[in-house]
Homo-oligomer: A and B are copies of this chain.
Amino acid sequence: MPRTVKLALIPGDGIGPEVVAEAVKVLDAATAGSGVEFEKTHFSLGAARYLETGDVLTDDDLAAIAAHDVILLGAVGGVPGDPRLANANIERGLLLKLRFSLDHYVNLRPTVIYPGVPSPLASHGEVDFVVVREGTEGPYVGNGGAIRQGTPHEVANEVSVNTAYGVERVVRDAFARAQARRKKLTLVHKTNVLTFAGGLWKRIVDEVGATFPEVAVDYLHVDAATIFLVTDPARFDVIVTDNLFGDILTDLAGAISGGIGLAASGNINPDGTYPSMFEPVHGSAPDIAGLGKADPTAAILSAALLLEHIGLPDEAGAIREAVVADIAGRGGASRTTSQIGDAIVSALTA
């Protein structure tokens, strides 16, 4: 009996559909003969859908997506500055709404500098770390407001909300990952300025850390962490941090490891109450959409994270090996999106 996995596909806007098509190709090739079969549903969501119907994400959309086992997302967002999108915040209304509604409290973002990938850093050693970014709290909660908007007396506030419940569960997840890796965890925050939120994070890391005696714990202010990401990225194993700091650090991590064209991510609900969602870190890049210029590698590596999540670590590992082989073989010649996908499929089945 094959095991059926219900896969929700949200290709999205711009280059999203192109890279998702390649990721699905690779996903199917990697799981052929594994006994797992994907039952796929396409969801048309994003700026294009909003312009057509005026909807960003309806309750029905959300319920339909939530009925799946797992989600693969491409990228969402229209052309920057498009006046028709001025009143729609696709990021908040779609991407963040999915992350929050589906309780994706672990936003997992691995960084590896693969052999053969040119890094902007002159030297870097062996870089292989993972950022565990909190996904459901912090400055992302949307608890802001403004008075006297549009006047010289406007006051605009943003509230970062942090709970022991929310911090504890993501910190525990990060420690478990560190325990299974090189046993080093770095908390990144700004405890000297954000004393309340920082104090909570520090306390929870101390408490949970006591139950993981083998894991060495380190702390860095977020500003200092950016310095080490460019001067000594090899020092990191697992970084645990809040939603906003994680957003910033992972783009920087993507840049030093050869560009966010390679950066994969998982929005994970470890409890399994809701489907987890896997997506490349990059955006929809409308300027190169439809030209076959997008690198699908980040989407393909996100598919590998997806396979790991549904219990197929060997198939995930095979994708990663195929990607590493493909990257190592990349010469100067530029290939199209589907040529890269095909090459990774060939490497996989070779």
Set B96, B123, B156, B226: member contacting A248, Cβ < 8 A: B226
Contact at B158–A160, with CB atoms within 8 Å?
yes
When each residue 144-171 of chain A gets 1 if its CB lies under 8 Å from chain B and 0 otherwise, what string results? 1110111111111111111111001000
Set B146, B152, B160: member contacting A199, Cβ < 8 A: B146
List the B residue with the shortest CB-CB distance to A140. B193
When each residue 39-71 of chain A gets 1 if its CB lies under 8 Å from chain B and 0 otherwise, what string results? 000000000000000000000000000000000
Set B163, B252, B254: member contacting A252, Cβ < 8 A: B252
List the B residue with the shortest CB-CB distance to A247. B223
User: Is the C-beta of A291 less than 8 angstroms from some C-beta in chain B?
Assistant: no
Set B96, B159, B230: member contacting A120, Cβ < 8 A: B230
Contact at A153–B164, with CB atoms within 8 Å?
yes
User: Is the C-beta of A255 less than 8 angstroms from some C-beta in chain B?
Assistant: yes
Contact at A157–B156, with CB atoms within 8 Å?
no
In the assembled complex, the Cα of A161 lies from the Cα of B168 at a distance in Å of 27
In the assembled complex, the Cα of A230 lies from the Cα of B224 at a distance in Å of 15
Contact at A227–B92, with CB atoms within 8 Å?
no
Contact at B139–A194, with CB atoms within 8 Å?
yes
A123 CB to closest chain B CB, in angstroms?
8
Contact at A159–B162, with CB atoms within 8 Å?
no
Contact at B154–A193, with CB atoms within 8 Å?
no
A43 CB to closest chain B CB, in angstroms?
21
In the assembled complex, the Cα of A252 lies from the Cα of B119 at a distance in Å of 16
Residues in B whose Cβ lies below 8 Å from that of A192: 89, 91-92
User: Is the C-beta of A37 less than 8 angstroms from some C-beta in chain B?
Assistant: no
In the assembled complex, the Cα of A89 lies from the Cα of B199 at a distance in Å of 12
Chain A interface size, under 10 / 10 to 19 / 20 to 34 / 35 or more: 35 or more
In the assembled complex, the Cα of A70 lies from the Cα of B122 at a distance in Å of 40
Set B92, B226, B252: member contacting A195, Cβ < 8 A: B92
Residues in B whose Cβ lies below 8 Å from that of A203: 150
Within 8 A of B (CB), among A13-39: none
In the assembled complex, the Cα of A230 lies from the Cα of B148 at a distance in Å of 38
Set B92, B151, B156: member contacting A162, Cβ < 8 A: B156
List the B residue with the shortest CB-CB distance to A154. B164
List the B residue with the shortest CB-CB distance to A246. B223
Within 8 A of B (CB), among A209-255: 222-224, 226-227, 230-231, 244, 247-248, 250-252, 254-255
Residues in B whose Cβ lies below 8 Å from that of A120: 121-123, 230-231
User: Is the C-beta of A190 less than 8 angstroms from some C-beta in chain B?
Assistant: yes
List the B residue with the shortest CB-CB distance to A162. B156
User: Is the C-beta of A197 less than 8 angstroms from some C-beta in chain B?
Assistant: yes
Residues in B whose Cβ lies below 8 Å from that of A123: 120
In the assembled complex, 7 residue pairs joining A and B whose CB atoms fall closer than 8 Å, in A order, are A91-B193, A139-B158, A150-B203, A156-B200, A157-B196, A159-B159, A226-B248
- A sample of 17 more A-B contacts (CB under 8 A), given A157-B197, A159-B160, A223-B251, is A120-B230, A139-B139, A139-B193, A140-B193, A144-B195, A150-B203, A151-B164, A152-B164, A154-B163, A154-B164, A155-B162, A158-B194, A158-B196, A222-B247, A223-B250, A226-B251, A230-B252
